[in-house]
Amino acid sequence: MKLEIKRLNALKKYSGDFEFETEPSADSCLIPLCKIDGKVRVKGEYEIYDDDSVGVNFTVYYRLAGQCSYCLKDAVKNIEKSFEILFVTEDDPDNYSYDGVSIDLTTAVNDAILFSQPNIILCKEDCTGIDVNN
């Protein structure tokens, strides 16, 4: 998904909303024995500032499916996580940069997917793991 900043400036659309779905890459799930089930939905808004920096707020929505990290039964977890990002036209280690013309949200969305994942996935909240006494 791209935001055409130069075009939006010409149209005087200095803020707005966006929404799209994307296929996650095969290596986008960090939890062993799990994967992202289906597409990732991204919904957000942008604001273009006077200095050509662009604030982007978005939420990623997706579903993790796989095996419980404690007992290995089937497990699913719906993820919803919001992010606030600033895109700037110069190199800045604290922000994402863009060329002043368009912003490709792919890297920011991929980073958001990685940062939003839990360390484990459980089949139920109170899973105690494999019962070795049975």
pLDDT tens per residue, range 49-108: 999 999 999 999 999 999 999 999 999 999 999 999 999 998 888 889 999 999 999 999
| Res 27: pLDDT | 86
Average pLDDT of the residues of the chain: 93
Q: Whole-prediction pTM value?
A: 0.89
What share of the chain in percent tops pLDDT 90? 85
Amino acid identity of 121? I
Residue 131 Cα to chain centre, angstroms: 36
Dihedral of alpha carbons 44, 48, 54, 55, sign: negative
Tokens 């484990």 belong to which residue? 120
Cα atoms in the Cβ-side hemisphere of radius 13 Å centred on 43: 5
Confidence of residue 120 (pLDDT cuts 50, 70, 90): very high
Tokens 């978005």 belong to which residue? 58
Task: Report the helix count and the strand count for the chain, using DSSP H and E.
Answer: 2, 8
| Res 112: pLDDT | 96
| Res 134: pLDDT | 61
| Res 128: pLDDT | 85
